[in-house]
Amino acid sequence: MKLFDSHCHLQMPQYDADRAEVLARMQGAGMGAIVVGTDYEMSRAGIELAANHDFLWASVGSHPNHAEEFDSAKFEELAKDPKVVAIGECGLDYFRSEKSDEQKEKFVKQIVLAQKLHKALVVHCRDAHEDMFDILASEQGSTLLNKVPVVMHFFTGSAELAQKYLDLGCYLSFPGPITFTDMYDDSIRLCPLEKMLIETDAPFAAPVPHRGKRNEPVYVEHVARKIAGLKGLGLEEVSERAVANAQKVFNIA
């Protein structure tokens, strides 16, 4: 593989009209990707898509903005599929949802599942970093970090915030918005290449030069290119490291 998108949602309806063409472009680029679930049905759809393409894998989980109860047994059954390599996306979101014990409880259930199945945890965190640190620094969180990789999805925070997550042992996954602002440049320079993943979060948040349009996994090259420029490295080196990191984090060949 030449590229790897660590987080996309190819099973979403935004691709219903041309999903085959999007997948063909991915094959042409020699890339792989993780198709990430946001609720039970989207998780199941992601598995079905991954099962039919050898360059796709799946993550199953319940996003904090979805009101559904997290049924550990149902998601564990989904996660038994050999194409499932992670749990999530899950976490805390106080921007679109109110802070609540229910959010925390749902997140913790998914932490427990990741521990049980020894699969990576894909974490969504928005305007909730204080509580996120409390959970990840707790005994349960520390046990998790010692057992499985934890990926901070769509990381767009300060260098100080980046260092805190790195100190915990997390991986940082950088998305398209890093291409159209310099707000996250210091975080990218700070983050060691071996703790870094790249993603699109497609169909959302397309990078320059596709900003404002539907995103798709092949655009992850623009994320790699921005990182290469900031770190004074070649695009190929950053892309190869992103692939190697994804293979390690998600335990894939």
Sign for the pseudo-dihedral over CA of 90, 94, 98, 102: positive
| 154-162 LR contacts (CB < 8 Å, sep 24+) | 154/7, 154/124, 154/199, 154/201, 154/205, 155/184, 155/187, 156/183, 156/184, 157/129, 157/184, 157/187, 158/186, 158/187, 159/186, 159/187, 159/189, 159/190, 161/129, 161/187, 162/187, 162/190, 162/191
48 is in an annotated binding site: no
Using CA atoms, how far residue 144 sits from 23, 153, 245, in Å, is 33, 17, 19
9 is in an annotated binding site: yes
222 is in an annotated binding site: no
124 is in an annotated binding site: yes
Annotated binding residues, written as ranges, equal 7, 9, 89, 124, 153, 201
Annotated binding residues for a divalent metal cation, written as ranges, equal 7, 9, 89, 124, 153, 201
